[in-house]
Chains A and B, each alone.
Chain A
Amino acid sequence: MNWKTFLAMLARDAHVARRNAFQLVFQTFLQPLLFVFVFGRVMVGSGYMPNSYKSLLLPGIIAITMVFTGIWAVAMPLIAEFQWTREIEDRLLAPIDISWIAIEKVIAGTIQAVVAGLVVIPMAWIVLHPGVDISIHAPLSFVAIILLVAIFSACGGLALGCSINQQHIGLMFGMVITPMIFFGCAYYPWSALDNFPVLQKIVLINPLVYASEGLRATLVPQFPHLSGIAVFVMLLFFDVLLLVLGLRQFGKKAIS
């Protein structure tokens, strides 16, 4: 393992992110804030939703923002760099085992997802204010869940980015990301699916469910949520699964 090479690759990604900062911020925060505004302010303010929905919604918005940011930050550049511009080849030729290049991407994506998650909290809070009732009851679990969620989204980005081709990006959104978001228990708690028992079981294969429920458990425990242990175990499981899958796919893509 060659630390200089690894850090230089991280520095490269940071440099590019800084250069595209405006676009990055826009793309990360616009959608969640619009969502927060429409459902948290408009719908609640006009009485179609109870006031408590604000607090229920916030953890879900954090989860979606993080997961989406992590996936996007890793998958999109990988798809382009492998296929279109092949610019990743320069890094594949750097004196380091190629798995570390994938891991570097995962770390860069994880950092972006964490930052996005932490920044969206005050932003959403300002939009929703007043009447949001959140507090960090268990700071350690909160940090752990944020990290686990960020890692699985970056690993998911790696697995997706190395598995699909440029022409299938639309398909990826239609078939993977959109159902994941809508059945991710982000806009409603998992217990809200009690009336749809089959669906309620099926959505358990969706890692976003554990992200939303886990954040709900640490930020707004007054609402029903999945047990903390189950959330940890499943998030850890998805982290490992997606990392292993992602590394395998990366190796396949990188070497012909």
Chain B
Amino acid sequence: MAVGVRTQDLRKIYNSAPPAGATGGFIARADAKGSKAPKTEIAALNGLSLEVLPGEIFGLLGPNGAGKSTTVGVLTTRVRPTTGQAWVGDHHVWQEQAAVKHLIGVVPQRPNLDFSLTAREILTFHAAYFGIPAKQRDERANGLLEKFKLTDRANQMVRGFSGGMMQRLSIARSMMHDPEVLFLDEPSAGLDPQTRILLWEIIREYNQAGKTILLTTHYMEEADALCNRLAIIDHGKMIALDTPQNLKASIPGGYLLRLHFGSQPPGLMDALQALAGVREVRANDGTGADVYADRGGSLIPEIASLAATTGADLRDVHISEPSLENLFLHHTGRSLRD
């Protein structure tokens, strides 16, 4: 039976900035008191409620610092929410930690492989922590090493692995105990294009076995290709939630033309809005405009002549086709990659 995931009104306030040394410790605390550093409060999650259905691939999309990893952290018992609740299946994440940890597999954003062990030992010890008998441990480890193309490195210490190899091993490890829910925090970061496609196949296959998957990503293609549903979050809040197709269809017009002007005479925005096929125009801090329209390239000549007649100095045009990137821009006013 597939297992779902739910959060209700999650809020997480970090009291200190992340730099190492900010957490606990009498020596660290003595330092902090001495310097009288002003206390910074960061709201990483700001009332986030979401529901991941059993058996679906759910994507969390958002810019750096949006709160994706914090959400994964709360759901995997690694971060204590300031307020709000979270459940994996019927288990309350905070109150039934051991039961929750039994159900989940986690690939963190930052690799955390056991550097004192070889690749194979990392997998077998992980399975041992989950009480899997020795024979089964070895079989599964061999299978996953093969699947992630790590067999020839299986008996080496991971210290010398490349970033992509560590990432692959980290994903393999998360599957060792056959968890019902898999959390993948930016699983394809650092993977070459070929390996990324291999990973997508593995994720789909795992999902077809009836498992629930929650992944975070920066890549539109990935979200588009893998996810049944997608939540876009920013500043710890949900901005949009739907299937990738519906989300894309919700962008006015679909095409986005980002224009840059050297000078911007009054009335230019209205003139742009009046062009055939233009759905929405947004001024961009005095130097440009974002135009959402039904058509792309064919608008350019009209915009160019408009610029010429009004005396606006058109410097740069960028056209993008319907995509989640545009969607994000539409909802937040900033690019995913900013």
Contacts and interface: CB of A to CB of B under 8 A. Distances in A.
Interface stretch (A59-67, A68-76, A166-174, A198-206): A166-174
A241 B225 CA distance: 55
Contact of B112 (A85, A163, A171, A256): A85
Please classify the interface of chain A as helix (H, G, I), strand (E, B), loop, or mixed, using the class held by over half of its residues: helix
A115 interface: no
A89 B174 CA distance: 12
B98 A168 contact: no
Interface residues of A, number: 39
Interface of B: 14, 20-21, 23-28, 73, 76-80, 97-99, 101-102, 104, 106, 108, 110, 112-117, 121-122, 125-126, 128-131, 173
Given A88-B112, A95-B131, A167-B20, 14 more contacts: A8-B131, A11-B128, A12-B114, A12-B117, A20-B116, A86-B108, A90-B114, A94-B101, A162-B25, A165-B21, A167-B21, A168-B27, A253-B23, A256-B79
B20 A166 contact: yes
30 contacts: A2-B98, A2-B131, A8-B125, A8-B129, A8-B131, A9-B129, A15-B125, A20-B116, A85-B112, A85-B115, A87-B113, A87-B116, A89-B78, A90-B112, A90-B129, A93-B101, A93-B106, A94-B129, A95-B102, A97-B97, A162-B25, A163-B25, A164-B25, A164-B27, A165-B25, A165-B27, A166-B20, A168-B28, A252-B23, A253-B23
A94 B77 CA distance: 11
A256 B74 CA distance: 9
Contacts of B125: 8, 11-12, 15
Nearest to A9: B129
A249 B115 contact: no
Nearest to A254: B78
B73 A163 contact: no
A88 B131 CA distance: 18
Contacts of A163: 24-28
A20 B77 CA distance: 32
B68 to A, nearest CB: 15
A164 B130 contact: no
A177 interface: no
Interface in A29-56: none
Nearest to A167: B21
A89 B14 contact: no
Given A255-B80, A256-B79, A95 B98 contact: yes
A97 B36 CA distance: 36
Given A93-B76, A163-B26, A165-B21, A8 B128 contact: yes
A12 B73 CA distance: 25
A86 B28 CA distance: 19
Interface in A65-115: 83, 85-98
A138 interface: no
A5 interface: yes
B129 A91 contact: yes
Contacts of B110: 86
Contacts of B104: 93
6 closest residue pairs by CB, A with B = A8-B128, A94-B129, A4-B131, A252-B24, A86-B112, A95-B102
Contact of A256 (B14, B27, B28, B113): B14
A5 B129 contact: yes
Nearest to B28: A165
Contacts of A164: 25, 27-28
Interface in A1-21: 2, 4-5, 8-9, 11-12, 15-16, 19-20
Nearest to A16: B116
Contacts of B117: 12, 15-16
Contacts of A92: 77-78
B114 A87 contact: yes
A179 to B, nearest CB: 15
Contacts of A95: 98-99, 101-102, 129-131
A39 to B, nearest CB: 33
